[in-house]
Every structure is written in C-alpha cells, then in structure tokens.
Structure 1
C-alpha cells in the first residue's frame, strides 16, 4: 500500500501483557516487539510507538493506579491519579526507561538507537476530567517529555491527543464535537505548545463523537476538524500535525462502505493540500489495519484492506500522491508503478 509509518503499542499492562506487574516484564512479549521492530526495518516501515493508554484497553492508566493502590498508596477513586500521584509517576517513568533502553534481542540495537522507530507517543488519548483547567495534564506532559528526552534525543516525541480544544483557546471550542469535549481536562493548543513535543497529533472519529448526525454532517465535521488543526499547527504551534487515528465504524445503523471511503478521501485530501504547500499536515493513519486470523483484536473500525477494494485503492492513491511530492519519490516504487 506504500505506507511508510505504522503506529502500534509499546505497552500491554496486566497479567498477560508486556508489563505483568509494576516494573516486571514478560521477556516473551518483549521479544515479540523486538521482532516487529526488526521486520519493520526490513520492510522500510517506521514505527510510532505509544507507551500507555488512557483507556482501559490493554491495561491503561487504570492498571497503574491499581498497582499503586495494591502497594499501599492512598489514592482516590479516580484513575486520574495516574497523572498526579508520585508513586504512579515513578512506575510510568520506569516503563519509559525500560522500553527506550531495551536492547533488541534479535538485532542487538537499543530501541533508543533504532532507525526503524519514527517517534514515541506518551499516552493514547489523554483525558483528565478531575482537573478541567488542563493544569494537571500540562504538568504531567512537561515532566514525562523531559524524562523521555533525557533518555533519547534521537527520536521524535508526541503526546497522543484527540485534538479537543480547551480553556486556553475559547475561540476554538466551538470546533469541538460537543460541549462534552470542552470538559475533559485536555487542551490541544496549550499542551501542544510544550517545547519538547516535536509534533502534535489528532484523532478523527465522527461516528463516536457525533453519533446522531447524518453521514453528510459527519463528513462536513471531519473536513472542518482536519482543516482547523492543520491551520493551528501551521499558524499557532509552528510544528507538524499527524492525524494518528481516524476511522469510520461499520456498526452504525445503515453502514455504507462508500461512506468510509468518502471520509477517508476527505481526510487525505486535506493532508495532500497541506503537503503540496509544504504545510504542517504531515499525514494520517487509519485505525486500524489487521490481517486475517487475529479476530480478537477486531473492533468496529477494523479494516482488512484487500477485502475493501475501493478503500484499498484510496490508500494506494494517497501514498503515491505523497511519494510524488517528496524528495524520495521513486516512480518505480512497486506500489506506484501502475499509478
């Protein structure tokens, strides 16, 4: 498909995961990640590796809080203690260090020296509803970004935002998908300005965020959402923006595969317009590609590309259009040779 960056997890917190207990790791699971990195390099793909989940899937921040409670920490009922409690912060820093300094068992290369790694992502979809000012999340990002950079100055660093506007940009909150998105303790503009964050990130999920809207309204929202964040990245943040997740659910009433392709085209067109002008729009990653045989990881956004030929075609066309703009364009690239 001509894709050059793949985003995946460098975490799985819990009994069957990568980090089985706070500070304890499964070597077998780590070796699987070693293999993924080696294979990515062999195929010319670079990896964006996320370090923890805000959500409960694969453990997430709630697992860290549970570990701290079990160790005797006096924490409240909210999993937002992940961002403020000193014990939990220590656990998470230990995870950062363990991953970044890991020496690949297959290649002998430390992750922090690995050319196949494109960037680190601090947390998937951070929210801190216990502090709507955004101060708690701001402090956490600043601390963890500084710690990650102290261990690895070779790779880019991002946060993992959904892109919701907060209190620092009241003129922008009308762009949010609803009033609920104003009250998540996440502030896209303010948090993205942190100097150690090399590029910012945004997600695009009309089916989740505005579920009762028509498909036409969802497409209009996606177009405005992407355009707004590219504008912010260009004119306010002065750093690239990568749309690290976007997707269309196949479980909505009246799902239409054509609508999935149309939303994809809208996102891709905005990225291409920015790329043509050497703008801040740096790319967009579909959530999520899978292959046959891993059904337990499927969700409503899962795509097996070769089963949806029109969607597959949209991916290839975007890849080749961007190759055509880049300094590394090769007209004999196997993906683009017939484009």
Structure 2
C-alpha cells in the first residue's frame, strides 16, 4: 500500500530517520526468529566441547585422545521417533541420564524413518523438518551427558520403512527395475535415492548445537544398514558392490567418523567357517559374508549381532550359551588376525518368550558377552565393545519387544552392567565425560 506524504512525515517524525531504524530492527527480529533457539541454547549444549573428541581407530583398537576406548553400549532405536512429540520427548533425557549413571558410553539408534509414521524422509529427498529437529535434539542431549551415538542409516527390515519403502518409491515413480526388495542394492535409481538421503544426513546442520552432523564428535560413527541380507544373490556380489560404493560415497563426504556395515556376522558360502561357526546351514545363503563385507578400507570396524534363540530352534539353553562364546571368539579372532579392525557386537539379546524363561538366564547371557569383551580388552584385542538390545524406560511397555529391559528395575542385571563398566574403565582409564561418575558407579571397584 502506498502511503500519503503526510502519513510518511508523521511516521518519520519529520526527519526521515525512522525507516533506517525500522530496517535495523527488522534485521534483528529476523535473526532472532531464525536463530533464537540456537542463540539461547548455545552455552548449554556446547559446554562439553573440550571433553568431546572424535573416536578414531588404531589398527584393531578404538582410541580417544590417544587412549584405548572400549564400548559398553546399548540400543534405544526409538529415540528420534519419541523426540517428535512433547509427551514422549522426556524419555530421551531420562534414558541418557540413566545410562550415564551406569557409565554407558555409546547408544545405537535409528537416524532413519522412511515414509512411515513420524517419517523423517517423507518421500525421496523430501524431509519433515519437525522430525529432523527431533534428531537434532537427540544428538544435542547425548552431547550434554557425554554419551556418543552410533547412527544407523536404513533398515533391511520393513520396520520404519526400510529398503522396502525405497523400492516402493522407485516402483511408484515408474523408474524401478524390479519390485523385489533386494533391488534396493542394485537399482541405479534407488542408489541415487539413498545417496541423496545420506548426503542430507551427513551435512545436516543441527539447529541446536550449530554443528553439521559430519563435524560432531557426539556421533561415534555411522552404520550403513541394519542387518543387510540379499538372498536373491547368494554369491554376495550384489551386496558387496553396494557396500563398496556406499562406503566410498560416505567417506567422500565425512572422513571424520567411523563407519561400519550393520552385519549379523554370518560367514558366506566360500568361508571355511560357514560349517563350523555359523548357527545353521541357512546362514551361508543370505548373500552376506562377514570377512569379505568387512574387509574394504572404507569400513572402519566390523559389526556382529547375537541372537541364539532366534537362530536355533532345537538347541538347549546351555547349547545356545555355549554358541555365544564360540561365536564371539571367532569374530574377535577375525578382527585380530584377518581384518586387523575392531569388532563390535552391536546387538545382543535373549527373548523372554522362550519356554521356561527366567530373568536369571538373561543375566547369564549378558555376563558371557561382557566376559568375552573384557578378556579381549585385557589383551588389547579387537573386541571393541557390545550393545544390549534394547534398553527402555518405565512406561514404554507398548514399544517393548521380547528382548527389551529397564535395566535398573532388576538389581542383578544392573550390577552386571555396571561391573562391566568398571572393568573396562580400569583397562582404559576413566573416560572424560563420565569420569566424574566413576567413583559413584564403581564404589571402590576401580
């Protein structure tokens, strides 16, 4: 609207100075509206800057500030999803603070939700900013308590979209080569979708901390895909090609963070261990191979899962627990002698749906996993750490599966976890962000 000259004179007070003042005020208002949250929260979320360095790899060991670093970690895949809504958002802080009190150091969680409820990626290359801010919040809160995050980038399974959603997108847009879920690994259009997604994640500027994800040491590392399988090519060539291409792409954008695949750890059809170590015959036919997949120089550490009650149907509990030790020793030996890289057991769990299940059986299982890691750590071996699947807080029963626990609700389980924290701390020295907690956690055990 054009104002009259008399109106103009009243506005500027007859001296022509009001417009510049209003212009300056508008700039200040714009800056505050755009970046106010960042300005207000800078101090709180950046106070740990001096305590956070990138985790690096030296041969088959992780190091932080030149010191050995062994992980006592856990899975809370639900962080980003729950951070979206105000009524569930407090669970992230509650879980992280409880983990810090146990001396846990790394949480594995999802940095994906493709085309599902609370989707981060609504469609190829289209993101929901509200959900992205929820992931920003998760990273900022982890930084606040000195806990790092292992962020997974896509799911082989259907939950939270996964590779199935990528295939649906390509098929729906008329560019897909095949409706097979495994076309995720070889379809050129889908590879472009995924690369665009990965680039967006890695270069995302956190609206709370002001750091791009690729520059934030709060992130322990990236995981390419949760539990990849490509059963349409049992030779493993298709998956291997995908791993090499995607890991090279990621390293071209972010060479500061560690990278792993997300394997379950099965040995392939040409491996001499397929008949002696694999859980059953089917494991060699999943289109994966632990050694071959983990070998590229762009992969910094190997990943393995442990689910004896899912992989065996007839074996006794005693037999399953024996398998756990053998399985872990075999992969750590591979890390020490073949791969020359750390090996992380990024999921392990025992189902409470087993016939005759008692929580003491899960305690025994956890103890075996922790003992194997500790024995490797004492020798500065490749057993880099373990992540229980999964930890929850109270009131999350509807999100639980048959593996989840609230660890502080059972005293014996809590003791096993904190004892492992203290044993690892004794080997590596107190880790900076949790050093202040160690005296209370370990109660003279260091």
1:20 is displaced (CA, Å) by 1.2
User: Once the two structures are superposed, what CA deviation does each residue of 1:76-114 show, in whole Å capped at 9, x if it has no partner?
Assistant: 342000000001101110110011000001111100001
CA distance in 1 between counterparts of 2:396 and 2:174 reads 38
Q: TM-score of the superposition, structure 2-length normalised?
A: 0.74
1:4 alignment counterpart: 105
Counterparts of residues 185-204 of structure 1 (less than 5 Å): 185-204=287-306
2:349 alignment counterpart: 247
User: Once the two structures are superposed, what CA deviation does each residue of 1:236-279 show, in whole Å capped at 9, x if it has no partner?
Assistant: 10000010000110111111111101111111101000000000
Counterparts of residues 165-314 of structure 1 (less than 5 Å): 165-314=267-416
CA distance in 2 between counterparts of 1:282 and 1:18 reads 31
Moved more, 326-335 or 252-261: 326-335
CA distance in 2 between counterparts of 1:153 and 1:205 reads 32
CA distance in 2 between counterparts of 1:74 and 1:323 reads 50
CA distance in 2 between counterparts of 1:314 and 1:286 reads 12
1:306 is displaced (CA, Å) by 1.4
1:30 maps to 2:132:
yes
1:132 alignment counterpart: 234
1:328 is displaced (CA, Å) by 3.3
Q: TM-score of the superposition, structure 1-length normalised?
A: 0.97
1:26 is displaced (CA, Å) by 1.0
User: Once the two structures are superposed, what CA deviation does each residue of 1:130-170 show, in whole Å capped at 9, x if it has no partner?
Assistant: 00011000000000001100110110000000000003413
RMSD, aligned α-carbons:
1.3
1:71 alignment counterpart: 173
1:151 alignment counterpart: 253
1:337 alignment counterpart: 443
CA distance in 1 between counterparts of 2:269 and 2:131 reads 40
CA distance in 2 between counterparts of 1:279 and 1:331 reads 27
2:29 alignment counterpart: none
1:311 is displaced (CA, Å) by 1.1
| Larger-gyration structure (1/2) | 2
Report the count of equivalent residues.
339
1:119 is displaced (CA, Å) by 0.3
Of the three residues 149, 156, 166, the one matched with 1:47 is 149
CA distance in 1 between counterparts of 2:229 and 2:108 reads 20
**Structure that is richer in helix per residue:** 2
Contact 2:150 2:222 (8 Å CA) reproduced: yes
Moved more, 131-140 or 293-302: 293-302
User: Once the two structures are superposed, what CA deviation does each residue of 1:300-330 show, in whole Å capped at 9, x if it has no partner?
Assistant: 1111111222111111000110001003365
Contact 2:116 2:160 (8 Å CA) reproduced: no
User: Once the two structures are superposed, what CA deviation does each residue of 1:194-251 show, in whole Å capped at 9, x if it has no partner?
Assistant: 1100000000000100132111011001010011100111011000001000011011
1:331 is displaced (CA, Å) by 8.4
Which is bigger in relative contact order (C-alpha 8 A, separation at least 6)?
2
Contact 2:263 2:303 (8 Å CA) reproduced: yes
SS of equivalent residue, structure 1 residue 223: helix
CA distance in 2 between counterparts of 1:289 and 1:338 reads 26
